[in-house]
Structure 1
């Protein structure tokens, strides 16, 4: 036991603070097992509900994760570094390699790919400048790295723009959708991304296999042609425990 917590005189916050200090100091390093409820009741002289509540505090903070049948462990953070300017620049896209290769070096496994033609949600129709009757091709998929789901993605394309192309197929071919847009005469040359964070919806939590207390990062990217025509909107839901987002800027226009 460390810190100011004393057996028989502690509450759940004291225990949580004590464990947090051990995690922050490295006494409990990433991947190490955290004392369980029974251990905490004995160590701190508290009842089991108090010990459980202390662990729940750290789970909700995202510091520890419970593994069914194994116990509770300090969260390991092995980030995918997502550098938007690098992954979207023309030289990277023109190489025929997926933009993912700038993040993880190899293409992740893509699962649950679906392609549908539907009327778009109103915000998507507005961004793509579509009229009320215009439909979109919607590509939905999940990305997995090292057998761990890390991202959900939904991309919208004006149907009239991509009809008959490989963008309407499960496999878009070498270079992906951006290469197909270029072949269609609608090469994306400018991008806009909006980011925010929130707690996951239940379906997102299940699809990404998120631990308790893990928020998601939402990235909405719009791709434009040289004449400012919007040709794609992509909504990405990222496991925040899997990513570091890096942006590079210069002081010149």
Structure 2
């Protein structure tokens, strides 16, 4: 506690003691007195500083963990959770020059952040689309889609799952059906197939993860996800892909540049 200076408890406050302790630690994290990856004072140190019971300290630490600010490592202690390493630039991530350089959007972003990207758990199937996907792709009742489901990792840690739905009439018998879709990813393949991309629409909402999502992304308690649904359109105005993405909120900053006209 000699390196980290925490306030004393306010005996006149009507705020519970464990919440005061959580407030002090949260403020230290916000001020960067405790940096990402740094260990918080131990339970014993906090008990000694505040002269409180062990359960009071544990309740305070549980608040920080539920807020996604800290992560507990068994036998090691409680650490400040690392902040988002990747800035997802909406105005640049699907720029054609990335595809021409042989880089899919995820790879380009990760390399820009200085972290190592990888992809695993790739599954490719053909199926009937859900009513929502069929509507977004303007498909009729008998049309089918190629489904590409995969998980993205940064420095070996899972941060995102994505499932793409492409009309089978476009993707079937192309490299889109292969686990390795080739340089530039599936968008480069779509353009090679004659569907030069024109624009994308995205719908994003934040929510708490489902159990399977928490397991797939190895999320700590209290960490929400971004649920993003993107539709890609070619120059003829045809929707050629719907991508349903679940992103760990502590892995990304979503950055947008919007015109003022």
Pairwise same-fold verdict (TM > 0.5): yes
- Name stretches of at least 5 consecutive residues in structure 1 with no aligned partner: none
- Selected match of 2:156 from 144, 147, 165: 147
| Partner of residue 124, structure 2 | 115
Q: Distance in 2 between matches of 1:117 and 1:70?
A: 46
By how many angstroms is 1:70 displaced? 1.3
| Partner of residue 40, structure 1 | 46
Q: Distance in 1 between matches of 2:189 and 2:33?
A: 52
Please give the root-mean-square deviation of Cα atoms over the aligned residues, in Å: 2.0
Contact 1:220/1:235 (CA < 8 Å) preserved in 2? yes
Equivalent position SS for 2:197: coil
Q: Distance in 2 between matches of 1:105 and 1:3?
A: 41
- Selected match of 1:85 from 84, 91, 105: 91
Return 34-43 or 84-93, whichever deviates more: 34-43
- Selected match of 2:205 from 157, 176, 196: 196
Q: How does 1:45-56 map to 2 (within 5 A)?
A: 45-56=51-62
Equivalent position SS for 1:123: helix
- Name stretches of at least 5 consecutive residues in structure 2 with no aligned partner: none
| Partner of residue 9, structure 2 | 5
Contact 2:99/2:183 (CA < 8 Å) preserved in 1? no
Q: Are 1:174 and 2:161 an aligned pair?
A: no
- Selected match of 2:31 from 25, 34, 44: 25
By how many angstroms is 1:193 displaced? 1.0
Normalization by structure 1: what TM-score?
0.91
By how many angstroms is 1:78 displaced? 4.7
Contact 1:5/1:15 (CA < 8 Å) preserved in 2? yes
Contact 1:83/1:102 (CA < 8 Å) preserved in 2? no
Equivalent position SS for 1:41: helix
Pair 1:99–1:24, CA change in 2 (3 A): closer
By how many angstroms is 1:184 displaced? 1.7
Normalization by structure 2: what TM-score?
0.88
Return 147-156 or 97-106, whichever deviates more: 97-106
Q: Distance in 1 between matches of 2:98 and 2:29?
A: 39
| Partner of residue 124, structure 1 | 133
